[in-house]
Amino acid sequence: MAFLKVALLAALPLAYAQSSTPTNPGYSIPQGTPFPDTTYPNATVPYAVAGAQSNQTSPPEYPSPWGEGLGDWGAAYAQAKAFVSQLTLTEKVNLTTGTSWEGEQCVGNTGAIPRLAFKAMCMEDSPLGVRFADFASAFPAGVSIASTWDRSLFYLRGYDMGSEQRDKGVDVQLGPVVGPIGRAPEGGRNWEGFSPDPYLSGIAVAETIKGMQNAGIMACTKHYILNEQEHYRQPSDIPASSSNLDDRTMHELYLWPFADAVKAGTASVMCSYQQINNSYGCQNSYTLNRLLKNELGFQGFVMSDWSAQHSGVSSALAGLDQTMPGDIGFDSGTSYWGANLTIAVLNGTIPQWRLDDMAIRIMAGYYYVDRQSNQVADAPNFSAWTQDTFGFKNFYASEDYTQVNWHVDVTREHAIDIRTMAAKGTVLLKNTGGLPLTGKEKLTTVFGSDAAENVWGPNGCPDRGCDNGTLAMGWGSGTANFPYLITPLEAIKAEVRSNGGFFEDVIDDAAYTQASALARRVGQPGIGGACIVFANSDGGEGFIIYDYNEGDRNNLTLWHNSDMMIQTVTEQCNNTIVVMHTIGPVIVDAWYENPNVTAIVWAGIPGQESGNAITDILYGKVNPGGKTPFTWGASRGSYGTDLLYEPNAGSSAPQDNFQEGVFIDYRAFDRSGETPIFEFGFGLSYTTFAYSNLQVQAQSVAPYAPTTGQTTAAPTYGTVSNRTADYVFPPNFHKVEAYIYPYLNSTSLRASSGDPLYAQNYTFPAGGYDGSAQPYLAAGSSTTPGGNTQLYDVMFTVSATITNTGEVVGDEVPQLYISLGGPENPKVVLRGFDRLTIAPGATATFTSEITRRDLSNWDVASQNWVISSAPKTVYVGSSSRTLPLSQSLNINACYNGGSPAPAPAPSSPAPASSGAPVSQLSDGQVQTTSAW
């Protein structure tokens, strides 16, 4: 979601900010500051994917599939059809169009249907809490819950968050996030999502959705799709950047977790800001109509990101179902839909069945999660625009002064869960004896501002848009207000004093003289103790710029010159423990091997219980069991990918070519032969584990069959009167300023539109109006969401024995990887994991299933999944590079001896076409037909 761009540089102190170059307030990088080019040195790849080229386009795909109530959506569709059948044209439009920015109490609101006592829907951030609300929790970020590798905690976090949103009167929680997935480590919003691995992200998003929706609110999985950087996602002077990629990469990497989200039943999906193969994400007919609604069988509704809609009729035909916040520009009073959608149905440029499908999908999501039984009094019982008890319900228009905040405490006992999640997501990266602390240390010292509280308070920076004090949340719309924030400084101090020890600190990041003196005291004979250095690296959404970081990080260094603080302390203290709160990987090569660094801990983005959670780890109350959900490289260039920081197409849309294909994060390291400092899936414990007894059992499955058959014809619900007089504003109707209504100003459609180009000769894609029965895609399903049902057939069951060979109880995360074989595939890909708690000396059995999908590649020629003839091997171990157990897989053993003919290896993506334009898919936007 985007809000008005804010430059915090003029307002916030920068004395010890990230850049060591003198800075001046403004939006540009200061002269002389090193800054990456379009492609960072060593980030180019010799195996660049041919299907990811500048100016390529995605094929048009029409019509927009209508929902059918597949799978367990049947009952919800029946209820939705009964409801929508009662609606007038304008009431249907009210469901699809937001009422405007700051129009009502939530960040997004639809129009109400008073005649049926149906209240306006409330859409509210964020993926880690109830944004802007008071007396609500601040949960660990997605990247931190991913590092638990714990399905039960994925679900619990979703349920806890969903229950708080429900109790605040929210209908749709704007989360979880699997876009960005984390293609480049500098991505400013990577922390909102889970991991650059699609399998881990897919499991995390599915369990989160189940938890949220079982609590009685709708999940909105975002941002669909390829929204991998903040730079140029929504520029004011040029078109938004285009993420260009090939079909295989789309399916095997970026679409993978969205498929899991759809299979889990996400009620809605939010389309993204940037372009996809040079078509805006919220009107890209290929990604919305073909991939999401047809191939994946998505039954819910597509919601635009805030002001990500760029056309009216075109976006509707391309698959958009709901526009947020409804107005074209914030508080502009204009809308692509609203009255214009009413007009479009009346003049035939949008067929009634398409509007009916929008309404059905929205209401099906509503009934699917049983919203009608999960209402609360005075909903929404908070305002996103003020925390005063009384205020304006129509905030921008300053109308309807009333009670807008009831200050309802929705936190329940969630603080306990948050502390558990944050501790279990903490990753021990190095330990040569520094941890756990005993509590008997005579002198414990803490260094760095990341240990302490923001001097302006935990919520002192709007949307957490600064880096003052301990980092427990990134910045942007993915935030929530802290109800409190337990800092590491206060928690460690309390722990030390409870044990009768002594405690001192230096939290000024530039007080090197004082830090050196204090660190020197710790190592003096007769004293002993520990030096704990806290450091961070921040980032967030691009509407906030902090220290010249436009959401995305400019580099992978620790902020506040923390490397210097670490060096200062380690020169004096031979028991230095480094704790990092970061939104992603940072470069640690300057000090991680220093023998005086006895432990390194990544504490992630932990939320409100930060200090308690890290203290639990440091003092051994919780044995660390987290595993890093991304790779820590020795240099920025090690990753093989980077962001597009500078325009590369003049006044045209910047072209961001995903030429690395599926090779991101550990896959890229494996292919290029780079040795990571800490590999994907790595994490230590205070105990040790041994792996043995790998068993692989083939399961009997039927040969894979493409889906066939056709849908029903597009249905309509109710009738639409052609009397324009039926849709004008009612007599004596009071119009709220800038509010978006579905009504016409007059019986003249042209005059009501207010569009100077109204009735201009413009040809929309003919297929967009075809309401006849449509064929299912071969990779899709006619019965359930998520793609061809046979993709989820279990082909192998794998087990291994895990033994705790140490002296304390601990958690281990066994991980299953598969080599798919062939030069076009990564060395290994994650395909299973579990988190096991094992007593000392005891054993536990790790079991995991391998599905057909896990073994398949996307074949662009057949447009389906295939298992290639290349040899397949399964590996089990404790990280992506520690895989002691392995066994080859006999695919033919799964077919009852049927031994089907081996499928060909996936074909290479075809190069993008440079043919002539064949259709006009959006207002002023030309698309060409081309292969992905």
pLDDT tens-digit map of 107-127: 999 999 999 999 999 999 999
C-alpha to C-alpha distance for 613 and 603, rounded to whole angstroms: 9
The yes-or-no answer on residue 160 being catalytic is no
Question: What is the structure's pLDDT at 294?
Answer: 98
Beta strand ranges found along 458-560 (DSSP E): 502-506, 529-537, 544-545
- Apex 228 CA angle, 556 and 928, nearest 5: 145
pLDDT tens-digit map of 756-788: 888 888 889 999 999 999 999 999 999 999 999
C-alpha to C-alpha distance for 263 and 269, rounded to whole angstroms: 12
Question: What is the structure's pLDDT at 42?
Answer: 54
Instruction: Give the Cβ contact number of residue 331 at 10 Å.
Output: 17
pLDDT tens-digit map of 617-626: 999 999 999 9
Q: What is the DSSP string of 591-624?
A: TTT-TTEEEEEE--S--TTHHHHHHHHHTTSS--
Question: What is the structure's pLDDT at 58?
Answer: 87
Percent of the chain past pLDDT 90, that is, above it, reads 87
pLDDT exceeds 50 at position 31: no
8 A C-beta contact, residue 644 and residue 241:
yes
pLDDT tens-digit map of 537-594: 999 999 999 999 999 999 999 999 999 999 999 999 999 999 999 999 999 999 999 9
Mean pLDDT, the chain, whole residue set:
91
Residues found in the chain? 932
**Closest among 848, 747, 851 to 789, alpha carbons compared:** 851
Question: What is the structure's pLDDT at 6?
Answer: 34
Percent of the chain past pLDDT 70, that is, above it, reads 91
Q: In the beta sheet, which residues pair with residue 801?
A: 692, 845
C-alpha to C-alpha distance for 473 and 126, rounded to whole angstroms: 12
Instruction: Give the Cβ contact number of residue 191 at 10 Å.
Output: 31
8 A C-beta contact, residue 115 and residue 745:
no
C-alpha to C-alpha distance for 695 and 705, rounded to whole angstroms: 29
pLDDT tens-digit map of 184-211: 999 999 999 999 999 999 999 999 999 9
Question: What is the structure's pLDDT at 761?
Answer: 85
pLDDT exceeds 90 at position 44: no
Question: What is the structure's pLDDT at 923?
Answer: 31
Q: Look at 525-529, 636-640, 924-928 and tell me which has the smallest mean pLDDT.
A: 924-928
Question: What is the structure's pLDDT at 758?
Answer: 87
C-alpha to C-alpha distance for 819 and 454, rounded to whole angstroms: 47
Six-digit token pair at 562?
A: 């923390």
C-alpha to C-alpha distance for 526 and 87, rounded to whole angstroms: 81
8 A C-beta contact, residue 714 and residue 901:
no
User: Is it true that the peptide bond before 867 is cis, omega within 30 degrees of 0?
Assistant: no
pLDDT exceeds 80 at position 377: yes
pLDDT exceeds 90 at position 162: yes
Buried b (16+ CB within 10 A) or exposed e, 806-827: beeebbbbbbbbbbbbeebbbb
301: left (phi over 0), alpha (psi -120 to 50) or beta: beta
Q: Are strands 836-838 and 810-812 parallel, antiparallel or unpaired?
A: antiparallel
Six-digit token pair at 194?
A: 């889970």
Question: What is the structure's pLDDT at 909?
Answer: 37
8 A C-beta contact, residue 520 and residue 482:
no
Question: What is the structure's pLDDT at 907?
Answer: 43
pTM over 0.75: yes
C-alpha to C-alpha distance for 497 and 650, rounded to whole angstroms: 61
Beta strand ranges found along 67-217 (DSSP E): 108-109, 122-124, 172-173
pLDDT tens-digit map of 867-908: 999 999 999 999 999 999 999 999 999 997 433 434 444 444
Q: What are phi and psi of 457, to 5 degrees?
A: 95, 160
8 A C-beta contact, residue 302 and residue 283:
no
The torsion of the CA quartet 1, 921, 56, 277, rounded to 10 degrees, works out to: 20
8 A C-beta contact, residue 283 and residue 305:
no
Question: What is the structure's pLDDT at 760?
Answer: 85
797: helix, strand or coil? strand
User: Tokens 């590079």 identify what position?
Assistant: 881
8 A C-beta contact, residue 143 and residue 421:
no
**Higher-confidence residue: 22 or 360?**
360
Instruction: Give the Cβ contact number of residue 401 at 10 Å.
Output: 11
Six-digit token pair at 455?
A: 């001097």
pLDDT exceeds 80 at position 711: yes
pLDDT exceeds 70 at position 819: yes
8 A C-beta contact, residue 419 and residue 613:
yes
**Closest among 899, 792, 798, 903 to 854, alpha carbons compared:** 792
C-alpha to C-alpha distance for 538 and 522, rounded to whole angstroms: 30
pLDDT tens-digit map of 788-799: 999 999 999 999
8 A C-beta contact, residue 229 and residue 552:
yes
Burial class (CB in 10 A: 0-12, 13-18, 19+), 73: buried
Question: What is the structure's pLDDT at 759?
Answer: 82
C-alpha to C-alpha distance for 902 and 857, rounded to whole angstroms: 13
pLDDT tens-digit map of 313-349: 999 999 999 999 999 999 999 999 999 999 999 999 9
pLDDT exceeds 50 at position 471: yes
Question: What is the structure's pLDDT at 523?
Answer: 87
User: Which of 246, 305, 321, 547 does the annotation list as catalytic?
Assistant: 305
**Closest among 617, 825, 750, 799 to 47, alpha carbons compared:** 825
* Average pLDDT estimate for 244-271: 97
Amino acid at 799: S
Amino acid at 532: I
